[in-house]
Structure 1
């Protein structure tokens, strides 16, 4: 009686917990990337993204104004005085302890005075205001001050402004973003169009060798694309296509066709046969049946493959490296731009986080808009 139809399995809770665990494993890094993309470099280096809403305590090395700067110091009575604020920008940070040596960064509390060589004295307040005095005229660089400051939670759009609108090509993702769209949209549409015609022929048209073609399509599903990269590139160079958008479109089309034909054919062959036969009896041609009956009914399968192809093409680096990337970098895509940022901006985590989230934002949007068709397309032909 344990297998009565309709009775829930005792292991259902295991499946639910597993699904929740997988969702959380995917969600936490994505949320962390999003939060980090709005934080400053200092905040990222001092605390994790989960503390973004709380004040952060940071150790900073700040410097007073240089005495040689015009108007920096003034003679007040018998003392030369330099006054100002240690923080370069307006901030709500508060200093708890400070010091004039890296060996004792907590030697003084905010508001206390430190005596240095040659009768120099410096006082640092909680808000960063300082007063540096000396009986002799000051010269050289400004006094270094090591502080421990508590900074409030801060979010900024400057990372996105730098990544999307920077004039520096090493930082900007704008050009790479549009290059990626230029590659991805045609590389998604072209194989869908070709595969739809081929899938209809393999599903509903009788011709010699159809079974062999279906077997070849299934066999191509397991062929690694790496095996065809160099031969295909040599073919492109031989016929004059070279490296460019046309070459990468054709490459993505060729690598995506086996899965597209297999997926669409499985869906189309499961459509009601009576509809096709009645249309033929009414005098409809195969093209009319395909465009007016099959395509509208196959939209879930078409959307399912579109999601797969779009995500794969958008996140692709290997095919773009082989068939597209040139020496000038004018056609570089986002995945390659992020690799370049890792090399030139490896310490700028705020820039890397922002660039990475910009890269995944569009795939996330496409997935959530069309995910309801994904399962329907994947289940195509699974039941009769």
Structure 2
């Protein structure tokens, strides 16, 4: 993973100028930000990471959203340009702003890159199963891998509703042209028949369990990257498990979770009074946690620079190490099992079970 400065790991934002806005489909755009020379090190990223963007709404409230970087990581000194993909979400304030108002010359506050859905280039055979805008981080992963590692092969299995809704068509076609022997593309449309290729329909667990062995030596693949809506990612994960793929070869990032997707947490008695101690950028403090308040909100009342983006348990920006105490997480769609087992929690979803809880955001 790319080395990160403290600012890159935590909640610092910098204003970046919009250099380009490219219309990809009727409901999606690619936005490019110019990175000044003095900030290139701050915005150095590993292929697959994302950015948190921030703006103020009309009523003055703060809006934060995360979008994946789609460009290859090619410069060891850090990028001069950052490009992200944005798809319109029904009722989404930021995505609506990006598609209808954002223009070249505007300035947007951007947090340094974050996320662990990454693949540093190395030899091997890698596969991604993506749905819709889940192509965005995988495009960065595939283009970086193939461009920097001549002994790597990549297979992209993507699902989109229709041909017209497919993001980054030209960029994926370019990968096919540049690496015909090392890049394989399988494209499925769920709501539209294709003249060639696979029949239309969703890439669910049953279909993937049948399809993947026909395409690939499944257990010989060195790494699987699943990205997109919750249902697709979970179906692909179950299919790979049924096909005998070791858990440590499967990596996932979820872009959208329905409200009813996660089972409700079992009720755990909360202490009458509790406090959180947090270490952030080398400085520690202790503060009381209000009744029903998440640990992240308790920290934010006292440290506005605490890192977060979605507050929905999806992006993983607020990941922290649980030094001591016990917490209950409402939802977790960002941390892999190995991370939870190693002691990491999502601060936005964590509530104290013990009177004293200590978090370390610097680990």
Higher strand share: 2
Larger Rg: 1
Q: Name which structure has the greater RCO, CA cutoff 8 Å, separation 6+.
A: 1
| TM-score relative to the length of structure 1 | 0.19
Higher helix share: 1
| TM-score relative to the length of structure 2 | 0.20
